[in-house]
A and B are shown apart, each in its own frame.
Chain A
Amino acid sequence: LAKTTQPISMDSYEGQEVNITCSHNNIATNDYITWYQQFPSQGPRFIIQGYKTKVTNEVASLFIPADRKSSTLSLPRVSLSDTAVYYCLVGNSGGYQKVTFGTGTKLQVIP
């Protein structure tokens, strides 16, 4: 799987929009970009997935530029409950794929 690079940590005040960027310079043509959220002592939870341009769901938006070498997870109006670690993964489902995690970004939402 393509290696990803994210900021180790970020702080944000409640109600602000948070953008977390992930670099994946060696992304392959058939790779997708997927973001997961993990709370302490819980398994990761799927947030959003995309291939190119922009994807939006009820939780977040994912922005992917044309070269796909990076992506940005956007969380609108964060609350304290959004404090978690966010992981960016890049890969595809050809055969028995592996889901391997990078360091993730620890988001701390401040009241």
Chain B
Amino acid sequence: GAVVSQHPSRVICKSGTSVKIECRSLDFQATTMFWYRQFPKQSLMLMATSNEGSKATYEQGVEKDKFLINHASLTLSTLTVTSAHPEDSSFYICSASNLGQGSLEAFFGQGTRLTVV
């Protein structure tokens, strides 16, 4: 199946710094990628939809100025957590769709464990 690679797998940063997470579709072109956040023992929460060549669409309650998304090419989307704080510590996951007509199949990266200290 299609492969989505996410980097880094885990990162520790100091409060106030910014962290960039990359999501790449390795063997297909993804016009749309999705970014999720998952807190311990909870489900994935959709943060934003990343569209190649245009602005991302953010879910209600997600600060677009804090979570900067750039989808500059058909194989790469990045999420930058700006001015990170301990409450931003979470598991961040991206996904990309190799859209099949009438199907709903998304491929997920391995996730990034962010710890803000």
Q: What interface size band does chain A fall in? A: 20 to 34
> Which of B14-22, B62-70, B76-84, B105-113 is near enough to bind chain A?
B105-113
Task: Return chain B residues, CB-CB under 8 Å to A90.
Answer: 104
Query: Which residues A82-103 have CB closer than 8 A to chain B?
Result: 87, 89-93, 96-103
**Chain B: interface secondary structure?**
strand
In the complex, the chain A residue whose C-beta lies closest to that of B32 is A96
The answer to whether B100 and A93 touch across the interface, beta carbons within 8 angstroms, is yes
The answer to whether A100 and B32 touch across the interface, beta carbons within 8 angstroms, is no
Task: Return chain A residues, CB-CB under 8 Å to B104.
Answer: 31-32, 34, 49, 89-93, 97, 99
Query: Which residues B1-33 have CB closer than 8 A to chain A?
Result: 1, 4, 6, 32
Task: Return chain B residues, CB-CB under 8 Å to A46.
Answer: 1, 105-107
Query: Which residues B23-64 have CB closer than 8 A to chain A?
Result: 32, 34, 36, 43-46, 49, 51, 57
